[in-house]
Chain A
Amino acid sequence: MSEISRRKLITTGLAAAASVSGIAVAAKLAQRHGLIPPDAATRYGTGETLTYAAQRVLGSHATAREFSRSQISEKPFANEVDPLGDEFKRLQDGGFADWHLAVDGMAARPTTFSYSEIKSFPKSSQITMIGCEEGWTYIAEWSGVPLSYILDRVGALPQVRYVVYRSFQKDWWESIDMADALHPQTLVATGMNGADLPVPFGGPMRLRVPRQLGYKSIKYLNRLTLTDNLKGFGKGTGGFAAEVGYAWYAGI
């Protein structure tokens, strides 16, 4: 058994105390700068927080890679969704003229936009990659109105920290922080590869968040809620994916 010198004991003790207080300070700073994700209190929340905080610190303004027209996939894959039902079919048969995107929550002018209104807004387009957490990817051109334009139009209040968004499909909802919500590449997409967004790919409209995995780019978008706190939604972990055991932050 080796001898533990007094010096070693004191140095180790000091190092341990410094580490603990260092972590406490870091946690406080992280909280103040919005670097703690809503699923931080789950079993793997520590790793999740490290990943989210590191990626936000390193690149909250970074832009996802954009590709050339020749790189657009000839064979994109539309992941299967649950049956959309008769009401959706009725809307589809009407050319989605009756589709609406309701924007509520912490907004000065909560508004419900029609499909044609959304399509009339200033358009942005991007040729980006969408990837599933399963590992498959394809590249396509999406066009639509930047989410930041809509937030500006409804007068998002300064205290808004997250945008909660919902699908026509019951129970399918997600949320993103302001770094992604205001990002120029985050679109309410209504077009894909030069035509209207096809239904299997989320038509009439889906959210496109190209810096995160596909499960954040939910299809059949019909409602946005602006909030400063995700605790009041569902189980408080920020989305459907988090509630079934996936990470809220899908940047990785």
Chain B
Amino acid sequence: MISPDRPRARHSALVRVTHWLMTLAFLALLVTGGEIVLSHPRFYWGETGNVNMRPWLNLHLPSSRDTVPTGYNYVLPDQNGWSRYLHFEAAWVLVATGLLYVIWGFFHGHFRRNVFPARADLSIKTIGSSLLSHCRFERPGEEEVWSYNVLQRVSYLIVIFMLFPLMIWTGLAMSFSFDAAFPAAVNLLGGHQTARSLHFIVTILLVLFLLVHVFMIVFAGFVTRVRAMITGRVVAPKD
């Protein structure tokens, strides 16, 4: 039984600091990235794409450039200057913080202990029953304050080791100078415009993750969870 008044350690300092830094960096990247998309709200496959060609995705949003025939009779103000600057600066923060978290995480057993699912939990039965209880909006039990459930673990691993690396890869693949030094970065993806489309698609996936993540936190107990991620300690509820 947890003594009601004694706080217990939940998240280490490094997990907490990197978590919030990543949150800030991600939000900055999201807002500035969205702004940049508005200057050409269309996406193509392959190497080339411009208003003279057919996009696979037309967002039908107004644009900040009058050269894009959006069908709206107004043009949004151009914010690409500071947006691009901040986008790349936040990218540096994200990459540096992410590397710190991942390297530390491996060396200090954070992933082994707290994030990788136990082999036993990777069965259809466990994942299935976790999915089912989520779909039923069942309130999480006491033990979930102290340990990520299997769906959390799998989704966090996908975000950390697949989605964020893909964001960085597809982002760098759009840099002409980076491509000059490492042409495989863009060639493996299938071209400059494919890299751009993938960059956008993975953004949508990360936004979906963010929405579900925040909803789950609220559903599980916003104050307990966020306090634990700030102070590192859980104060067990009285009764």
Contacts and interface: CB of A to CB of B under 8 A. Distances in A.
Interface string A75-98: 111011000000000000000000
Interface stretch (A40-48, A114-122, A141-149, A154-162): A40-48
A66 B215 CA distance: 47
A67 interface: yes
Contacts of B89: 44, 46-48, 50
A58 B181 CA distance: 7
Nearest to A209: B176
B40 A62 contact: no
Contacts of A67: 47
Contacts of B175: 55, 251-252
A137 B192 contact: yes
A139 interface: yes
Given A77-B52, A135-B39, A245-B81, A47 B92 contact: yes
A129 B48 contact: yes
A21 B90 CA distance: 23
A134 B174 CA distance: 12
B177 A137 contact: no
B183 interface: yes
Contacts of B67: 77, 79-80
Given A59-B177, A65-B183, A137 B92 contact: no
A43 to B, nearest CB: 7
Interface in B174-225: 174-183, 186-187, 192-193, 196
B180 A138 contact: no
Interface residues of B, number: 40
Nearest to B39: A134
In this complex, the interface size class of chain A, counting residues with CB under 8 Å from chain B, is 35 or more
B84 A246 contact: yes
B51 A77 contact: yes
A134 B75 CA distance: 14
B65 interface: yes
User: Majority SS of interface residues in chain A?
Assistant: loop
B196 A48 contact: no
Contact of A51 (B86, B88, B196): B88
A59 B89 CA distance: 20
Contacts of B50: 73, 75-77, 136-138
Nearest to A245: B81
Interface string B76-118: 0000111011101111100000000000000000000000000
Interface stretch (A192-200, A210-218, A224-232): A210-218
A140 to B, nearest CB: 10
Contacts of B196: 135
Contacts of A187: none
B28 to A, nearest CB: 11
Contact of A129 (B47, B52, B82): B47
Nearest to B175: A252
Nearest to B90: A47
Contacts of A46: 89
Interface string A3-24: 0000000000000000000000
Contacts of A62: 177, 180-181
Given A44-B82, A48-B88, A252-B178, 17 more contacts: A44-B86, A48-B89, A51-B88, A55-B181, A62-B180, A64-B176, A67-B47, A76-B50, A77-B51, A77-B52, A135-B196, A138-B50, A211-B180, A212-B176, A244-B81, A245-B82, A247-B85
Interface of B: 36-37, 39-40, 47-53, 65-67, 80-82, 84-86, 88-92, 174-183, 186-187, 192-193, 196
